[in-house]
Amino acid sequence: MARLAEKEINHTTANLVPHCFSGVQNLKRRRGLTLIELSIVLLIFVILIPILFSVASNFSTLRSSETEADSLSKIYTFARRAAIKSGETVYLELNFEENYYLLYRLNRNDEEIEKKPILDKHSLASRNGLVAVVSPLGGRVNSGVVTLPFFFDGTTEEVSIYLGSDSIIDKTVYFPRFSVSAKVENGETLPEALTGLENQDMDFLKESSN
C-alpha cells in the first residue's frame, strides 16, 4: 500500500510540474502581450497628438456665421454687466489684422498700465471674420485695431460690426449705445443713427478708412 501511495504521489507531482511550468510561461506570454499592447497604444497616441492639435487649432473654421454673430452679440451683454457690476470701464478690442476680439480691463499700477483679460481671446473663422466696423463717430474702419469702451453706467459707442469674408458681409452685429442686448441682422445694416444717410453719404462712409 505504501509503495502504491508513493507511486500515486510521484505521478501527481510529475503532472503538476509541467502544468506549473506551463502556467509560468503563459503568464510571461501575457505580460509580453500587455507590454506590446501598451507600446501600440502609446504609438497611436503619439501619432494622434499632432492631428488632434491641428483639429483644435482650426476648430474656428467650422463655426458658422450665425454662431460667430451670436457669440459676439452675447459679448455686448456680458461687457455691459461687467462694467456696471465693477464700476470700471471694460474694453472690447476688435483686431482686424489677426481676426480676433478680446474683452479686458486696464490694470493700473505705479510702473505701467496693462490689459487684464476678462474672457479668453476669441479667434474668428476666416470665412466668418471681422470685415468692418461702422459708427456715427468714427465712420467705417476695416483694418488695424478698434477698441470699444463699455463705461461704468453700461453705455458704449453705437456701432455696427460686420462679419463675413473679405468684402462679402454675411451678418451685422449691432451694438446700441445703451440697451439690454445687441441685435444680429442678415447682410449689411447701418447703425440706427446713420439709417437716414443717402447713397452718396454711404459711399463716402465706406471709403473713409482708405
How confident is the model at residue 52, as a pLDDT? 64
CA distance 206 to 192: 16
In this predicted structure, the answer to whether residue 189 has a pLDDT above a threshold of 60 is: yes
Is the pLDDT higher at 27 or at 63? Answer: 63
The DSSP output letter for 110 is S
How confident is the model at residue 26, as a pLDDT? 52
Domain boundaries, the chain: 2-57, 64-207
How confident is the model at residue 79, as a pLDDT? 96
How confident is the model at residue 165, as a pLDDT? 86
- Give the whole-number percent of the chain exceeding pLDDT 90: 45
Q: Would you call 199 helix, strand, or coil by DSSP?
A: helix
Least confidently predicted of 32-36, 89-93, 190-194: 32-36
3-class SS letters over 19-76? HHHHHHHHHHHHHHHHHHHHHHHHHHHHHHHHHHHHHHHCHHHHCCHHHHHHHHHHHH
Quick one: CA torsion of 39, 45, 47, 52, rounded to 10 degrees? Answer: 180
Q: In the predicted model, what is the mean pLDDT of residues 31-39?
A: 68
CA distance 87 to 102: 19
How confident is the model at residue 112, as a pLDDT? 83
Q: In the predicted model, what is the mean pLDDT of residues 170-195?
A: 90
Is the pLDDT higher at 34 or at 196? Answer: 34
Range 64-207 has CATH code 3.55.40.10: yes
How confident is the model at residue 40, as a pLDDT? 80
Q: Which of 76, 90, 63, 79 is nearest to 183 (CA)?
A: 76
Q: In the predicted model, what is the mean pLDDT of residues 66-93?
A: 94
pTM of model > 0.75: no
CA distance 127 to 133: 17
Could you give the C-alpha distances from 200 to 15, 71, 127, 196, 204, in angstroms and in order?
104, 33, 29, 12, 6
In this predicted structure, the answer to whether residue 77 has a pLDDT above a threshold of 70 is: yes
Q: Are 102 and 207 in contact (CB under 8 A)?
A: no
Is the pLDDT higher at 201 or at 52? Answer: 52
Q: Which of 104, 100, 144 is nearest to 122 (CA)?
A: 100
How confident is the model at residue 9, as a pLDDT? 47
Quick one: CA torsion of 142, 102, 73, 173, rounded to 10 degrees? Answer: 0
Least confidently predicted of 5-19, 50-64, 101-115: 5-19
- Give the whole-number percent of the chain exceeding pLDDT 70: 70
N-term to C-term CA, the chain? 115
Is the pLDDT higher at 207 or at 42? Answer: 42
**How remote is the C-alpha of 31 from its chain's centroid?**
43
Strand partners, 103: 92
Q: Which three cell numbers stand for residue 159?
A: 456701432
